[in-house]
Amino acid sequence: MKSPRLVTEQPFEKVHFVEEVGLMFEIVGLPRMSGRIFGWLLISNPPQQSSSELAEVLQASKGSLSTMTRLLIQIGLIERVSLPGHRRDYFQIRPNAWTQLTKQRMAQLKAFRELAERGLKLMEGTQPPLQERLQEMRDVHAFLEQELPRLIERWEQQDEQHEMSVDR
């Protein structure tokens, strides 16, 4: 007996959404299957899905799912959870996943800024036009490195206020 959650039995809109998330992940350099898993976890009911359920819904091999769920766990978008009374592990979207991912990106911004600064030292004494690309790289990353923490802080305050208003 097939699961009623089989992707081919899902409404077209859900199937299309899962595929769109997969394509978006591919555009940013991640495997399409990782995006498909993430897309399904965004809309699945219940929110926790086992490897078997993901394999059936996404028509993917367990090997591929294992690799991709490990990747999604490493980048902080999903987590492995156990449910009371169940022997198997489940996957779900990690709470505050986007905030954590953005915080990780801040370290990348710093690394790019530092790399640009090393390049500028390397180019000292050359014509200013030859340094412009590195200066732009440094300046953009320095700006984002300075501003992103403020945006995250504002988001966390807004999110906290929202949660407080929902709890009332």
pLDDT in tens, 108-131: 999 999 999 999 999 999 999 999
Out of 20-29, 92-101, 109-118, 134-143, least confident range: 92-101
Going by DSSP bridges, is the β-strand pair 89-93/49-50 parallel, antiparallel, or unpaired? antiparallel
Burial pattern 3-37, b for ≥16 Cβ within 10 A else e, equals eebebeebeeebbebbeebbeebeeeebbbbbbbb
- pLDDT, residue 51, reads 96
Using pLDDT thresholds of 50, 70 and 90, give the confidence band for residue 164: confident
Can you tell me the mean pLDDT for 56-73?
Answer: 96
3-state helix, strand, coil in the chain (%, to 5): 70, 5, 25
Query: Is this model's pTM higher than 0.95 or not?
Result: no
Can you tell me the mean pLDDT for 57-85?
Answer: 95
